[in-house]
């Protein structure tokens, strides 16, 4: 297959490929493969084996956080990743929905999240007589500043620091794996390309150069 | 279960092959192209990378953003079904043994997601006992296998360079891709401390080799399997072409139970469970070829007991399951401050490293007997689950755009930090040779069966001082290279004697081998030098099982070469009616 044709195959997707599978596997019944395609489409187009499909259905149907918890997660997320001149906020990128999914997928996050949210609300009740989500913006930021800086936080805030680290990490990983976040951080890939080596200006910046041997023996475009 | 019965397929095949990975795929390909009738049993479902690969999916297309699950331990987009655990198919450990067993269940097996690192064993790798007195020599030498390496280089395609190295033989290579930026840093640093760095050797097509397979388009996602067949997977490059000959009947979701034998002790076929209808089937053949993975093939043999083979099939030596070994592995990574705030461009490249370090020292001058090679990683990877995790351990340690910041934090300033560090990480992994030992083994657990009622394997595998000292040396080398490139170690730097220097558990590197080893002495080896059972002349094994030792090289290219050699032998022997 030449390059142009293989790229065309990629773009066209499953058309010619579907024919190949059927030709290889004449005994397979066609309904099964249609069913598979429908299920794949539901799963966001990701290829999944039968056992995975069952599991995906179960996880997607689960709901862990209460509405109040989700509200707090959303506020915290937008404090961690606010809108700036480059990109939108965590909630713009639907990070709260990702966090809801991931705690169902990875139950080890459930207790630290639930307990941490309750720890936060108890702190706020004692300080401001309101749970975190109902506090004023100034009160919320005072609370966040008490737990957002691991090295200068007071020792009695240690559990809050652990909780905020977890929320920061979940929020960041959710944001930077969203379409908006990938663009923000500047990952330019996942596409049809010709790798022709490090750009000339970049080589120069780091005072590097390809050897003659490399230039001679490596693929060039 | 009242209607449970055994269904016998009427057709008598020339060969029944168990497993469709590298070894089984190659056997099916050679036999089918020689006009023989083949039945290929695969324990998992059909998989064709062309339609089934998750290549070019974006991270947000996975609800878990590519995180791993028990179904896909290497992540949601990975090209391998199952891994360290399979529902309903347990394995057990003896004592505090910690063997980690990766099992793929799909057409093509693990080759759909493997690293494509395609290294020939060198002349010394077949004769290690003669060099250091440990383990055993192979009954064959490099000269016996060289013609098959040559043929698979051309048939399947591999890039690399001829360097004239004594124990890392030259081959028929396509041109390699140019090193990426972090790889140029690595090359400069490693070379300065005496560690050679050469172009890697991966079975990825940088040039077109035939009309059925495309050319690499540099998306760095070989681990997901390739829709245009530009890298080697047994599914795309061997089994699917073999099916096109019309000589192969593929049975998917067929879990082999035992190898059937007759009164004379010869193999007559294979009994299997069809996982779709849960019925029992038998298929018969003039030869039986095991390629179910080193451990699964040993399990099948040990479970195939008869009056002629009371100890399990091909096991009069009592060696089946023994000499199980994996590559050693230890890793370390860091961050290169010089690469902070890098200019962005597409540096995906091929899937995997563009350069590596083959073993460069003389073990006679070291306190451990066998070598290792180094694999490298780094640069601008696709953001996936875990990306940017742990910024609180990073952003307080460096000046960011000239400003010293407090660790942790939030807001627009934090967003700036994430951008600043992207693409500055680097990692390295040592993969070394273990001594294959009789007391490192798998056996049948007398008490446990899987959901099909098949007795399962119990493992007994440990590392010795040889492997631990090798891991220590790896760590020292990694530290030295990281230091030489001005990098700061961020992980793997705290390992020491308390945890065997970060040496991974045996099995973790997924190079299982040695359980059905070849040798000239039937008392000390189940197979002869053709991977043919000493006790049963129409039974063969063509996965990692026949390996006497596995060198400091990834084993797939040698599995393929040995399987091709054995398959040609089978074709000849069937023609001569010797089997």
pLDDT in tens, B203-235: 999 999 999 999 999 999 999 999 999 999 999
Residue with tokens 């690192």: B117
The per-residue pLDDT of chain A, averaged, comes to 87
- Residue B398 and residue B420: Cα distance in Å, rounded? 11
Q: Which residue of B has its CA nearest to A78?
A: B411
Q: Is any Cβ of chain A less than 8 angstroms from the Cβ of B462?
A: no
CA dihedral B309, B273, B112, B298 (to 10 degrees): -20
pLDDT higher than 50, residue B140: yes
Sheet arrangement for strand B92-93? B92-93, B455-460, B441-449
For the stretch A168-184, pLDDT in tens is: 999 999 999 999 999 99
pLDDT higher than 60, residue A25: no
Tell me what the mean pLDDT of segment B120-127 comes to: 98
DSSP H or E stretch at residue B418: helix B412-421
User: 3-class DSSP state for residue B136?
Assistant: coil
Q: CB neighbours (10 Å) of residue B330?
A: 27
Are B124 and B553 within 8 A, CB to CB? no
State the pLDDT at residue B4: 79
State the pLDDT at residue B74: 98
State the pLDDT at residue A1: 54
For the stretch B314-342, pLDDT in tens is: 999 999 999 999 999 999 999 999 999 99
Which residues in chain A have Cβ-Cβ distances shorter than 8 Å to B250?
24-25
Closest CA to A63 of A103, A114, A111, A117: A103
The whole-model pTM stands at 0.94
Round to the nearest angstrom and report the end-to-end CA distance of chain B: 38
Interfacial A residues in 107-136 facing B (CB < 8 Å): none
**Which residues have C-beta within 8 Å of that of residue B167, sequence separation ≥ 6?**
B122, B123, B124, B125, B358, B359
State the pLDDT at residue B353: 98
> Above pLDDT 90, what percent of chain B?
99
DSSP character string of A13-63: -HHHHHHHHHHH-TTS-HHHHHHHHHHHHHTTT----HHHHHHHHHHHH--
Q: Which residue of A has its CA nearest to B197?
A: A214
Q: Which residue of A has its CA nearest to B183?
A: A198
The b-or-e profile of A135-146 (16+ CB within 10 A means b, else e) is: beeebbeebbeb
Q: Is any Cβ of chain A less than 8 angstroms from the Cβ of B49?
A: no
Q: Which residue of B has its CA nearest to A46?
A: B54
Q: CB neighbours (10 Å) of residue B138?
A: 24
What is the pLDDT confidence band of residue A164, given thresholds at 50, 70 and 90? very high
- Asked if B52's CB is within 8 angstroms of A189's CB, the reply is no
pLDDT higher than 60, residue A39: no
- Residue B212 to chain A, least CA–CA distance (Å): 5
**Which residues have C-beta within 8 Å of that of residue B236, sequence separation ≥ 6?**
B48, B49, B50, B108, B213, B225, B226, B229
Which residues in chain B have Cβ-Cβ distances shorter than 8 Å to A19?
none
pLDDT higher than 90, residue A42: no
Read off the DSSP letter of residue A147: H
What is the pLDDT confidence band of residue A8, given thresholds at 50, 70 and 90? low
Q: Which residue of A has its CA nearest to B79?
A: A47
**Which residues have C-beta within 8 Å of that of residue B475, sequence separation ≥ 6?**
B330, B332, B492, B495, B501, B502
3-state helix, strand, coil in chain A (%, to 5): 65, 0, 35
Nearest neighbour of B349 by CB, restricted to A7, A87, A195: A195
Read off the DSSP letter of residue B202: B
For the stretch B289-317, pLDDT in tens is: 999 999 999 999 999 999 999 999 999 99
Q: CB neighbours (10 Å) of residue B438?
A: 11
Tell which of B25, B32, B40, B51 to mutate to test the A interface (max A CBs under 10 Å): B51
The per-residue pLDDT of chain B, averaged, comes to 97
Phi, psi of B456, deg, nearest 5: -100, 170
- Residue A188 to chain B, least CA–CA distance (Å): 5
- Asked if B51's CB is within 8 angstroms of A198's CB, the reply is no
pLDDT higher than 70, residue A218: yes
- Residue B517 and residue B533: Cα distance in Å, rounded? 10
Q: Which residue of A has its CA nearest to B64?
A: A102
- Asked if B65's CB is within 8 angstroms of A192's CB, the reply is no
Interfacial B residues in 55-94 facing A (CB < 8 Å): 56-67, 69, 71-72, 76-77, 81, 87
Q: CB neighbours (10 Å) of residue A34?
A: 10
- Residue B51 and residue A15: Cα distance in Å, rounded? 9
Which residues in chain B have Cβ-Cβ distances shorter than 8 Å to A48?
71
Q: Is any Cβ of chain B less than 8 angstroms from the Cβ of A194?
A: yes
For the stretch B539-554, pLDDT in tens is: 999 999 999 999 999 9
State the pLDDT at residue B192: 98
**Widest distance between CA atoms in chain A:** 72
Closest CA to B167 of B363, B434, B366, B358: B358
Q: Is any Cβ of chain A less than 8 angstroms from the Cβ of B20?
A: no
- Residue B566 and residue B540: Cα distance in Å, rounded? 8
- Residue A167 and residue A90: Cα distance in Å, rounded? 12
Q: Which residue of A has its CA nearest to B65?
A: A177
Residue B411 class from Cβ within 10 Å (0-12 exposed, 13-18 middle, 19+ buried)?
middle
Tell me what the mean pLDDT of segment B1-13 comes to: 83
- Residue B489 and residue B480: Cα distance in Å, rounded? 11
ipTM of the complex: 0.95
For the stretch A88-140, pLDDT in tens is: 999 999 999 999 999 999 999 999 999 999 999 999 999 999 999 999 999 99
CA quadruple B192, B198, B200, B205: dihedral sign: positive
Hey, which residues does B536 pair with through a beta bridge? B533
What is the pLDDT confidence band of residue A45, given thresholds at 50, 70 and 90? confident
- Asked if B69's CB is within 8 angstroms of A55's CB, the reply is yes
Which residues in chain A have Cβ-Cβ distances shorter than 8 Å to B348?
189-190, 193, 195
Tell me what the mean pLDDT of segment B369-392 comes to: 97
Q: Which residue of A has its CA nearest to B47?
A: A21
**Widest distance between CA atoms in chain B:** 82
- Residue B518 and residue B543: Cα distance in Å, rounded? 12
B198-199 and B355-357 strand pairing: antiparallel
- Residue B83 and residue A29: Cα distance in Å, rounded? 28
What is the interface size between A and B, counted as CB pairs within 8 Å? 278
State the pLDDT at residue B474: 98
Which residues in chain B have Cβ-Cβ distances shorter than 8 Å to A52?
69, 71-72
Tell me what the mean pLDDT of segment B431-442 comes to: 98
Tell me what the mean pLDDT of segment B33-59 comes to: 98
Which residues in chain B have Cβ-Cβ distances shorter than 8 Å to A86?
415, 419
pLDDT higher than 60, residue B101: yes
- Asked if B243's CB is within 8 angstroms of A186's CB, the reply is no
Residue A191 class from Cβ within 10 Å (0-12 exposed, 13-18 middle, 19+ buried)?
exposed
């Amino acid at each position: 297959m030449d390059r142009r044709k293989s790229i065309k195959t990629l773009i066209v997707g499953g058309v010619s490929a579907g024919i190949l599978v059927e030709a290889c596997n004449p005994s397979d019944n066609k309904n099964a493969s249609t069913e598979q395609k429908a299920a794949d489409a539901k799963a966001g187009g990701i290829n999944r084996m039968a056992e995975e499909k069952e599991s995906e259905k179960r996880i997607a149907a689960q709901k862990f956080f209460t509405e109040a918890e989700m509200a707090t997660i959303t506020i915290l997320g937008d404090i961690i990743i606010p809108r700036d001149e480059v990109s939108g906020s965590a909630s713009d990128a639907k990070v709260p929905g990702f966090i809801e999914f991931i705690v169902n997928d990875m139950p080890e996050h459930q207790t630290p999240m639930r307990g941490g949210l309750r720890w936060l609300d108890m702190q706020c009740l004692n300080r401001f007589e309101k749970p975190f989500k109902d506090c004023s913006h100034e009160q919320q930021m005072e609370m966040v500043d008490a737990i957002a800086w691991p090295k200068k936080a007071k020792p009695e805030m240690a559990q809050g620091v652990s909780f905020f680290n977890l929320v920061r990490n979940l929020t960041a990983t959710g944001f930077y794996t969203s379409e908006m976040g990938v663009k923000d951080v500047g990952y330019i890939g996942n596409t049809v390309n010709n790798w022709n080596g490090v750009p000339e200006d970049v080589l120069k910046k780091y005072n590097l150069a390809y050897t003659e041997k490399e230039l001679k023996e490596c693929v060039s475009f | 279960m009242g209607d449970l019965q055994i269904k016998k397929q009427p057709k008598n095949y020339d060969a029944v092959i168990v497993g469709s990975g590298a070894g089984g795929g190659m056997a099916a390909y050679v036999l089918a192209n020689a006009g023989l009738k083949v039945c290929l049993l695969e324990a998992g479902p059909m998989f064709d990378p062309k339609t089934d690969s998750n290549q070019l999916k974006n991270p947000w297309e996975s609800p878990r953003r590519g995180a791993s699950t028990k179904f896909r331990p290497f992540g949601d987009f990975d090209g391998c079904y199952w891994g360290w655990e399979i529902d309903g198919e347990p394995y057990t450990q003896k004592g505090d043994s910690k063997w980690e067993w990766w099992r793929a269940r799909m057409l093509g097996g693990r080759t759909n997601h493997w690293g494509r690192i395609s290294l020939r064993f060198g002349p010394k790798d077949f004769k290690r006992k003669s060099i250091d007195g440990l383990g055993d020599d192979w009954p064959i030498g490099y000269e016996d296998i060289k013609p098959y390496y040559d043929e698979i280089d051309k048939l399947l395609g591999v890039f690399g360079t001829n360097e004239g190295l004594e124990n890392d033989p030259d081959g028929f290579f396509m041109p390699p891709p140019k090193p990426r930026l972090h790889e140029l840093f690595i090359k400069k640093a490693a070379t300065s401390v005496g560690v050679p760095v050469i172009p890697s050797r991966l079975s990825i097509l940088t040039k077109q080799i035939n009309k059925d397979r495309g050319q690499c388009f540099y998306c760095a996602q070989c681990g997901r399997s390739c829709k245009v067949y530009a890298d080697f997977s047994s599914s795309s490059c061997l089994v699917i072409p073999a099916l096109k000959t019309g000589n192969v009947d593929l049975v998917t979701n067929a879990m082999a139970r035992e190898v059937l034998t007759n009164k004379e002790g010869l193999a007559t076929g294979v009994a299997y469970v069809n996982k779709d209808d849960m019925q029992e089937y038998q298929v018969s053949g003039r030869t039986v070829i095991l390629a179910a993975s080193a451990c699964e093939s040993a399990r099948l043999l040990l479970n195939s007991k008869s009056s002629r083979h009371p100890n399990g099939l091909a096991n009069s030596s009592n060696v089946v399951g023994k000499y199980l070994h994996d590559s050693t592995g230890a890793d370390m990574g860091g961050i290169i401050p010089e690469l902070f705030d890098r200019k962005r461009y597409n540096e995906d490249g091929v899937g995997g490293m563009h350069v590596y370090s083959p073993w460069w020292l003389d073990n006679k001058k070291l306190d451990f007997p066998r070598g290792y090679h180094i694999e490298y990683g780094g640069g601008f990877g696709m953001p996936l689950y875990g990306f940017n995790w742990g910024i609180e351990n990073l952003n307080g340690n460096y000046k960011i755009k000239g400003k010293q910041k407090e660790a942790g934090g939030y807001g627009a300033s934090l967003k700036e930090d994430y951008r600043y560090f992207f693409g500055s990480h680097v990692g390295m992994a040592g993969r070394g040779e273990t001594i294959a030992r009789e007391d490192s083994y798998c056996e049948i657990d007398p008490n446990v069966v899987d959901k099909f009622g098949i007795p399962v394997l119990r493992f007994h595998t440990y590392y010795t001082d040889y492997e631990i000292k090798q891991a220590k040396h790896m760590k020292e080398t990694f530290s030295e290279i990281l230091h030489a490139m001005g990098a700061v170690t961020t992980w793997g730097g705290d390992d020491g004697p308390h945890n065997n220097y970060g040496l991974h558990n045996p099995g973790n590197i997924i190079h299982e081998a040695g359980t059905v080893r070849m040798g000239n002495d039937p008392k000390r080896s189940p197979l002869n030098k053709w991977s043919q059972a000493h006790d049963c002349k129409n039974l063969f094994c063509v996965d990692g099982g026949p390996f006497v030792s596995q060198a400091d090289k990834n084993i797939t290219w040698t599995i393929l070469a040995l399987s091709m050699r054995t398959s040609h032998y089978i074709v000849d022997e069937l023609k001569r009616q010797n089997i």
